[in-house]
Amino acid sequence: MNYLVAVLADRIQAEAAYLALEKEAIKSTILGKGYKTADEFGLIDPNEQAKKQTQFMAVWLVPFGFFAGITFSLLTGLDTFAWAGEIGNHIIGGLLGAGAGAMGSVFVGGGVGLLVGSGDALPYRNRLNAGKYLIVVQGPEILTRQATRVLRQFEPENIQGYAAPSEY
């Protein structure tokens, strides 16, 4: 399954493009105000996914880091914080390990993508929030090529094709 996404400046242009595709017997979807939202269409919010993954990873990595920190402190016998005593040093070691686990959950869980931004879904969501409209065509490659030819007449801001990975 292939996807074609075109960004159009306003509703009139989006409706005209939709009708032109319909005349060619190409089924498409309009995303924007008054039509489907990104969530209804299934356009994944990368920020939400990154938050979920980071939280999921933190559930496992923070306790693991805490116990790893205590274990490291017990094995090495370091007396880094003399004011804390022997037990306090082990607890501080555990807390530092938990902090390392939290950092790991951010890096491995997708928090970097949350902070920096990644993927194509976010720019499309931003364009929808700015009042633009998206025309999405799903189908085999020949259909998306034909749709590209039709949509180019409307001079979209952006037109991008995607090929979904084939399943074996």
HEC letters along 32-93: CCCCECHHHHCCCCHHHHHHHHHHHHHHHHHHHHHHHHHHHHHHHCCCCCHHHHHHHHHHHH
- The radius of gyration of the chain from alpha carbons, rounded to an integer in Å, stands at 25
Above 70 in pLDDT, residue 28?
A: yes
Mean pLDDT value of segment 115-125:
63
Contact (CB, 8 A) for 38 and 31? yes
Whole-number Å distance between alpha carbons of 81 and 70: 14
Q: Does 106 or 73 have the greater pLDDT score?
A: 73
Q: What is the pLDDT of residue 64?
A: 93
Q: How confident is the model at residue 168 (pLDDT cuts 50, 70, 90)?
A: very low
Name which residue leads in pLDDT, 15 or 164: 15
Give the span between the Cα atoms of 60 and 66, in whole angstroms.
10
pTM (2 d.p.): 0.56
Confidence bin at 52 (pLDDT 50/70/90): confident
Name the nearest CA neighbour of 29 among 9, 49, 14: 14
Mean pLDDT over 43-51 rounds to: 66
